[in-house]
């Protein structure tokens, strides 16, 4: 059983993040909230998301699984204005989720979750920790997009750097230590990442959000941030590109 009401803005924020990675998702539902673990088809990135019952306007649920096609959910979200409430209710007999927005009722076929296993989230111990406003990352991405397909992220005792090296041109954005929310880096830690994955995620995070970045040398990056006004949490892991010499 699953029956809940949520602000359309909260749901939009959540769907925007997850749909950068995958189209069909399995939410694991329990009385305390919903969670999701997913990898993209190319196994380059992984997302782990948890949103508590408190993020909803109302929430009643047993343990269950809900498989959603996010493109369909987006078409429902388009019917809601900012401030609208979206009501959802699982219809067990028919494998459907019923959405209500104003006087519209939308019955959505659920995706079969039987073949969707949860990926194993690796336990990483990463040396450098940076807290930074996502707006800085967004500016760095805008500067990088015409230069190369990869972006280098570097944490050092001086600050945090996004840089991109093309065949003829290069660009870098340096955020000095005093412009960061916090910085822990005893040495210099740099890894190279696919720009499209990094850019799609960073663009989907609302302006003003503070993100926690954990980084190491030629290691995956962990990007952690809150959603749903602090009632939800996202961990995003992105594999590095290792350059062979």
Per-residue binding letters, 206-225, with a second copy (x by CB under 8 A): --------------------
Per CB under 8 A, does 19 bind a second copy? no
Looking at beta carbons only, is 169 or 186 nearer to a second copy? Answer: 169
CA–CA dist 8, 93 (Å, integer): 26
DSSP assignment, residue 62?
-
What is the length of the chain?
245
Four-point Cα dihedral 238, 127, 207, 164, nearest 10? -60
Stretch that binds a second copy, among 28-36, 45-53, 148-156, 164-172 (CB under 8 A): 164-172
CA–CA dist 172, 169 (Å, integer): 11
Site for a second copy in 171-200 (CB under 8 A): 171-176, 179
Stretch that binds a second copy, among 8-16, 139-147, 225-233, 237-245 (CB under 8 A): 139-147
Site for a second copy in 105-134 (CB under 8 A): 105-109
Least separation in angstroms between residue 127's CB and a second copy is 24
Looking at beta carbons only, is 142 or 181 nearer to a second copy? Answer: 142
Among 1, 23, 60, 75, binds a second copy (CB under 8 A): 75
Reported for 85-89, long-range contacts at CB under 8 A and 24+ positions apart, including other chains, are 85/5, 85/6, 85/7, 85/8, 85/57, 86/5, 86/6, 86/7, 86/8, 86/11, 87/4, 87/5, 88/2, 88/3, 88/4, 88/5, 88/6, 89/2, 89/3, 89/4
Least separation in angstroms between residue 78's CB and a second copy is 7
Q: Which residues bind a second copy (CB under 8 A)?
A: 72, 75, 78-79, 102-109, 139-140, 142-143, 145-146, 168-176, 179
């Amino acid at each position: 059983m699953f029956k809940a009401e949520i602000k359309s803005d909260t749901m939009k924020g959540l769907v925007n993040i997850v749909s950068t990675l995958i189209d069909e998702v399995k939410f694991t539902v329990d009385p305390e909230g919903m969670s999701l673990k997913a990898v993209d088809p190319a196994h380059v990135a992984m997302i782990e998301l948890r949103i508590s019952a408190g993020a909803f306007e109302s929430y009643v649920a047993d343990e269950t699984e809900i498989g959603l096609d996010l493109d369909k959910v987006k078409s429902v979200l388009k019917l809601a204005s900012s401030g609208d409430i979206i009501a959802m209710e699982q219809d067990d007999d028919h494998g459907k989720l019923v959405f209500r927005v104003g006087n519209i009722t939308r019955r959505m076929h659920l995706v079969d979750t039987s073949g969707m296993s949860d990926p194993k989230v690796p336990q990483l111990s990463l040396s450098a920790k940076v807290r930074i406003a996502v707006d800085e990352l967004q500016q760095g991405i805008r500067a990088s997009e015409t230069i190369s397909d990869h972006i280098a992220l570097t944490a050092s005792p001086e600050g945090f750097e996004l840089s991109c090296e093309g065949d003829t041109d290069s660009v870098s954005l340096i955020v000095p230590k005093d412009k960061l929310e916090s910085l822990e880096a005893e040495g210099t830690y740099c890894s190279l990442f696919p720009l499209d994955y990094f850019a799609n995620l960073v663009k989907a995070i609302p302006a003003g959000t503070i993100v926690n970045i954990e980084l190491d040398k030629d290691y995956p990056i962990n990007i952690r941030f809150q959603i749903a006004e602090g009632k939800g949490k996202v961990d995003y892991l992105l594999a590095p590109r290792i350059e062979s010499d």
